Copies of this chain bind each other. A is one copy, B any other.
Amino acid sequence: MLSWEERRSLVKIANLYYNDGWTQEQIAKKLGVSRPVISKSLQKAREHKIIEIFIKDETVHTVNLEKKLEEHFGLEDAIVVPISGQTPDVVKLSVAQAGAYYLSKNIKKAKKIGISWGTTLEALVQEYPYEMKKNITIFPLEGGLGRKKVEIHSNQLAYELAKRLGGTCSYLYAPAMAESSELRERLMKMDDINAVLQEAATVDIALVGLSNPYVQSTLEDIGYLNQNDLEQLRQLGVVGDMGFRFFDLNGNPVNSSFNKKVIGISLEQLRNIKKVIGVVSGAHKAESVLASLKGNYINVLVLDEQIATELLYASE
């Protein structure tokens, strides 16, 4: 316990230092002691909670979530977007904006970027600013998905992003899912397709979305999966996918009949990309995100506050 005299003196020093902006040297001179005494006094004042430092901003909540996510899942970065009572659509847009911002700040050294598909990534690309960044190439991470909603296809997003970056892009002239594994094999032997996929696996940065195939699933919306398919996936223990590659609760690839028909990079290849940025919004995707984290596919996560909270709660 400190004496009153000492307490007074600590308060006085603290005030001079923190409120009046004096240097320790000046305070020492004024009080007629050596500087280290002031240095130690300030330490003591902090120890005894005479001085307390608060960080005061609305973003404190989400920044704390980010730190916990980074620590808990060994992420390189996590960006948590506050939901603050907004509708899912608005939150999704905010997440996309945050993703765009993050990408633009971390794109410096990248020469090759891969992009998957989906509505969230579409929003991200639309939010991306136009900036000259020569010598960059964008690769689609999987083929197209038929005629519907062309604007969210991997190829299309690669094209749009390349336009915004002033770079070039490759195309995967192939369906995301071939009609049979045999057809897939044949397509995969084609040089145009094979070469692009090979390169796609070596990008510096990959942008991926995550889905829950059972709830509000774009895959179902566009008619790629029907109820039968979903039932099959459920039986196999699938909880999510990234670019048509389905995985289970632990993030392990699930060998469904689809898997052999998909034209796109594999989960294994994805894991080997140095920087995989997952962009995801909507509470129903929490389980899928958790699984993908367990599978160690993702290095950077951009997500909304609600998923972030659920992820941490689920992994207590």
Interface bits A1-25 vs B (CB < 8 Å: 1, else 0):
0001101101110110011000000
Interface bits A40-64 vs B (CB < 8 Å: 1, else 0):
0000010001111111111111111
Enumerate chain B residues within 8 angstroms of A131, measured Cβ to Cβ.
60
Enumerate chain B residues within 8 angstroms of A63, measured Cβ to Cβ.
8, 11-12, 15
CB atoms of B56 and A51 under 8 A apart: yes
User: Of the candidates B7, B8, B53, which one forms a contact with A53 in the assembled complex, judged by CB atoms under 8 Å apart?
Assistant: B53
> Nearest residue in B to A106 (C-beta to C-beta)?
B32
User: Of the candidates B8, B101, B129, B163, which one forms a contact with A5 in the assembled complex, judged by CB atoms under 8 Å apart?
Assistant: B101
A66 on the interface (CB 8 Å rule)?
Answer: yes
With A15-B67, A64-B132 given, is the CB distance from A7 to B51 under 8 Å? no
A295 on the interface (CB 8 Å rule)?
Answer: no
A173 on the interface (CB 8 Å rule)?
Answer: no
Distance in angstroms from A26 CB to nearest chain B CB is 14
A interface, by DSSP: helix, strand, loop or mixed?
helix
Per the CB 8 Å criterion, the residue count for chain A at the interface is 42
Distance in angstroms from A312 CB to nearest chain B CB is 11
CB atoms of A55 and B62 under 8 A apart: no
CB atoms of A51 and B52 under 8 A apart: no
Most chain B beta-carbon contacts within 10 A, residue among A4, A19, A66, A79: A4
> Nearest residue in B to A305 (C-beta to C-beta)?
B166
A130 on the interface (CB 8 Å rule)?
Answer: yes
- Which residues of chain A in 61-88 are interfacial with respect to chain B, using CB atoms and an 8 Å cutoff? 61-64, 66-67, 79
Q: Can you pick out 21 interface pairs between chain A and chain B where the beta carbons lie within 8 Å of each other?
A: A4-B59, A7-B59, A10-B57, A15-B57, A15-B67, A18-B55, A49-B56, A51-B54, A52-B53, A52-B55, A53-B53, A53-B54, A54-B54, A54-B129, A55-B130, A56-B127, A57-B130, A58-B130, A58-B163, A60-B129, A60-B131
Extra pairs beyond A32-B106, A51-B55 (10, CB < 8 Å): A4-B59, A8-B62, A10-B57, A11-B59, A15-B57, A50-B57, A52-B54, A54-B129, A60-B131, A61-B166
Interface residues of A (CB under 8 A from B): 4-5, 7-8, 10-12, 14-15, 18-19, 32, 45, 49-64, 66-67, 79, 98, 101, 106, 127, 129-132, 163, 166
